[in-house]
Amino acid sequence: MSAHPVIHTRDVRRVFESRKGFFFNELVRTEALKGVDLDVDAGEIFGLLGPNGAGKTTFTKIVSTLLLPTSGTVEVLGFDVTKEAHKLRPRIGLVLGGERGLYNRISARENLRYFADLFGVPMERRDKRIEEVLERVDLVEAADRRVEEFSRGMKQKLHLARGILHGPEVLFLDEPTIGLDPKSARETRKLIRSLVADGVTIFLTTHYMFEAEELCQRIAVLSRGRVVAQDSVAGLRKLVGGDRTIEVEAYGFDDGEIQRLRALPGVSRVVSEEYGPRLRLTMRVRTNELELATIRTMLANHPELALRERRTSLEDIYLDLVEEEAS
């Protein structure tokens, strides 16, 4: 870990006030962020996860100078985003995706020329740099077509190209692979990794757990405007109570049986859910002491018993964390 995190936030809050009702006379106050502390180190890929409406986009906009925090400290590359945004902007890139932010009536290449000029990419390097980024996002063939003809995935690639055009030191990506086909999504992840190899620090949000697990050194889980956990995937696994996940399935269990499973050594959590006509118990297990045979013996009265063990996945961890928060 470096001494100075590239992104450093303390107690970041953001309140939105909007009007609704027939006469727009009802003031609605939404606290999107309720005190967020995050640190992202140089050269890492940091992932922000969380349910819809948790505040991920709001936070991404604040750290990338697009939106002001209501209160709190936000420093990126040592600059205060509220006071030194003009110094910071040339050194960061932002990819929000969606329909906005691109000019539909002109080609992809013309869009990139426009943004290169806006970002201050020197004239003599501009066209070569544009070719480079078009190649990196695999848009060379479509480069001279008008953006209004682009599919959603092609637009997403153009957003990415725009984000890296000026060679930013920190890149903020809000759901970078949304709407991409599996091959393009994989290429985008490869591109993200290659940027890190060039020394870029990446901050991304995603709803794809395997993507976060594959890419990110560290992860924060945001829920209703608060960080509920911030660690490596291995650290998060410990936090939710174990590397091992054991699934037990049968046509029903009585409460006594579930209690006895809970009391077994190393078991931190047992959750039951209906699984078709059967009931599935998902057990989070901390230690190697517990053997599947012990469970099998305990539940020997269920002839249709199915037992399975797997490594606790990031999706398991995520669901544990956001469910705990909700209950």
Ligand X SMILES: Nc1ncnc2c1ncn2[C@@H]1O[C@H](COP(=O)(O)OP(=O)(O)OP(=O)(O)O)[C@@H](O)[C@H]1O
Please give the residue ranges that form the binding site for ligand X (CB under 6 A).
16, 18, 30, 32, 50, 52-58
Cα–Cα distance between 162 and 110 in angstroms, integer?
Answer: 11
Cα–Cα distance between 265 and 289 in angstroms, integer?
Answer: 7
Least distance (Å) between residue 52 CB and Mg ion: 8
Cα–Cα distance between 153 and 189 in angstroms, integer?
Answer: 14
Nearer to ligand X, 55 or 242 (CB): 55
Nearer to ligand X, 36 or 270 (CB): 36
Cα–Cα distance between 228 and 321 in angstroms, integer?
Answer: 7
How far is residue 19 from each of residues 26, 131, 225, 307, 313, measured CA to CA in Å?
Answer: 5, 46, 21, 53, 42
Under the binding rule (CB under 5 A), the answer on residue 58 touching Mg ion is no
Please report how many Cα atoms fall inside a 13 Å half-sphere around the Cα of residue 194, on the Cβ side. Answer: 11
How far is residue 217 from each of residues 77, 89, 123, 210, 213, measured CA to CA in Å?
Answer: 19, 25, 37, 13, 8
Nearer to ligand X, 57 or 230 (CB): 57
Name which of 158, 34, 175 is nearest 107 in CA terms: 158
Under the binding rule (CB under 5 A), the answer on residue 57 touching Mg ion is yes
Three-class DSSP category at 250: strand
Least distance (Å) between residue 129 CB and Mg ion: 29
Q: Quick one: what does residue 54 bind among Mg ion, ligand X, none, with the CB cut-off 5 to 8 Å set by partner type?
A: ligand X
Nearer to ligand X, 52 or 301 (CB): 52
- 218 φ, ψ (degrees, to nearest 5): -135, 155
Least distance (Å) between residue 7 CB and Mg ion: 18
Strand partners, 12: 36
Q: Quick one: what does residue 55 bind among Mg ion, ligand X, none, with the CB cut-off 5 to 8 Å set by partner type?
A: ligand X
Which string of DSSP letters, residue by residue, matches 24-43?
S-EEEEEEEEEEEEEEE-TT
Nearer to ligand X, 220 or 261 (CB): 220
Least distance (Å) between residue 35 CB and ligand X: 14
Q: Quick one: what does residue 184 bind among ligand X, Mg ion, none, with the CB cut-off 5 to 8 Å set by partner type?
A: none
Nearer to ligand X, 81 or 290 (CB): 81
Interface stretch with Mg ion, choices 31-39, 50-58, 230-238, 243-251 (CB under 5 A): 50-58
Under the binding rule (CB under 5 A), the answer on residue 177 touching Mg ion is no
Least distance (Å) between residue 121 CB and ligand X: 30
Least distance (Å) between residue 117 CB and ligand X: 29
Residue ranges in contact with Mg ion by CB under 5 A = 56-57
